[in-house]
Amino acid sequence: MRHASPTLHAIARIYGFIIKVGSNLQSLFLLYMRLTWGLILIVSGIGKLHAIEKTAAYFTTLHISHPYFNAYLVGWVEFLGGICLTIGFASRLAAIPLIFLLVTALGTAHAGNISHFRFLFDPLTLVNQTPYPFLITCLMVFVFGPGRLSIDAWLKRWSEKRPKY
């Protein structure tokens, strides 16, 4: 679109360039977030599974029913969900139990720090909680997808190239 003013035209071109650069960086940013937080989820899940007695004892102190079952469940969800998130395979599907798990963690293990909706007036009380960056990453992947640099995107491109019968 051509603008009457050369200044407006220049601003529109610069703004269009900025949008194009930002759009091209989306997949790299999603890859960075998936790799960073997905790998930590894998390690966290392995840690919980290797120290199942300690994890179950901690769950008992939080008054979580069936602490061993839930310790195994949390460990496996973090481990398998972290793998799916990291490689971008079934990532939106994997994000769902992870989101549920992380919201539950915020509501139980971190409840004292975020109770009474304090985080609305003091956002750092929520942002400083360990599950928060994992939750944000899972929400981003659920909403935006894993990006072009993922197995999901590769499978989509591959399936679109196959002949339709």
Could you read off the pLDDT of 74-124 as tens digits, one per residue? 999 999 999 999 999 999 999 999 999 999 998 888 777 777 777 777 778
* 1, pLDDT greater than 60: no
Q: What's residue 92's pLDDT?
A: 96
Comparing C-alpha atoms, which of 88, 80, 82, 79 is closest to residue 144? Answer: 88
What lies within 8 Å, CB to CB, of 63 at 6+ separation is none
Q: What's residue 85's pLDDT?
A: 97
CB atoms within 10 A of CB 73: 14
Q: What's residue 148's pLDDT?
A: 93
Pairwise CA distance, residues 18 & 1, whole Å? 17
Distances (CA, A) of 75 to 12, 80, 97, 151: 50, 9, 12, 24
Q: pTM of the full predicted structure?
A: 0.84
Q: Where are the domains of the chain?
A: 29-161
